[in-house]
Amino acid sequence: MSELPYSAVLFDLDGTIVDSAPGITSSLAYTFDAMGLPIPSPAKLLEWIGPPIMDSFRDLAGFDPLTSARALAIYREHYVMTGVFDAELYPGVPDVLRAIAASDVPLSLATSKPESTARLILEHYDLARYFDELTGASEDEVRSAKADVVEEALRRLSRGGADLSRPVMVGDRHHDVIGAAAHDVPTIFVTWGYGAPEETAGTVAAVDTAHELRVALGLD
């Protein structure tokens, strides 16, 4: 095989590898209800998938820091107990991860989901073995912005000796695009996730299927 176009790959999780909306939105609904607040519509709850959750508590719910911290505690307990595995793999994506691993191109997760929860999901679906690094938000949410997660993923890959001359991000929201661009990393946008068409702005490619993603990554 000729040299692949990218020397390292960063992968988002929610909306890119797994359709995690059912578990996330049900846990958010539980959180609002437990706090005695009206539950947003299903369409509104989908807007929460992708951004760091503390940002969404602030920006979408209008919570102050103390209220956000209370909501986060309620949400996490419910999500880990009942929602974390209420998800489905997107067709063909595990094969893409397997092909990346077989190509010896370093692969890191780069998700705003807490690292421990992301690991649970990938281990549940037997996908963790394809990754060189599993990078996510810190448990205290201090590292949760996608730019910070990308920075940490690149740092860990570099520490492992990865060639970072041509990295690429694979994601489904503008947060992935912007966060990766902050480190001069281009993004391949997957359209099967939660992003709107306008969120593809600034990407190097937008793909509709796992096969198209394989082609964009130079695997086929």
State percent of the chain over pLDDT 90: 93
Structure confidence by residue, pLDDT tens digits, 29-80: 999 999 999 999 999 999 998 888 999 999 999 999 999 999 999 999 999 9
Reply yes or no on whether the pLDDT at 219 is more than 80: yes
Domains of the chain in sequence order: 8-19+88-216 (3.40.50.1000), 21-83 (1.10.150.240)
C-alpha to C-alpha distance for 46 and 54, rounded to whole angstroms:
15
Taking alpha carbons only, the member of 45, 21, 49, 54 closest to residue 145 is: 54
Reply yes or no on whether the pLDDT at 4 is more than 90: no
- φ/ψ of 83, rounded to 5, equals -105, -20
Would you place residue 143 in the very low, low, confident or very high pLDDT band (cuts 50, 70, 90)? confident
Structure confidence by residue, pLDDT tens digits, 81-97: 999 999 999 999 999 99
Per-residue pLDDT, 1: 41
- Please calculate the CA angle 144-147-152 and round it to the nearest 5 degrees: 75
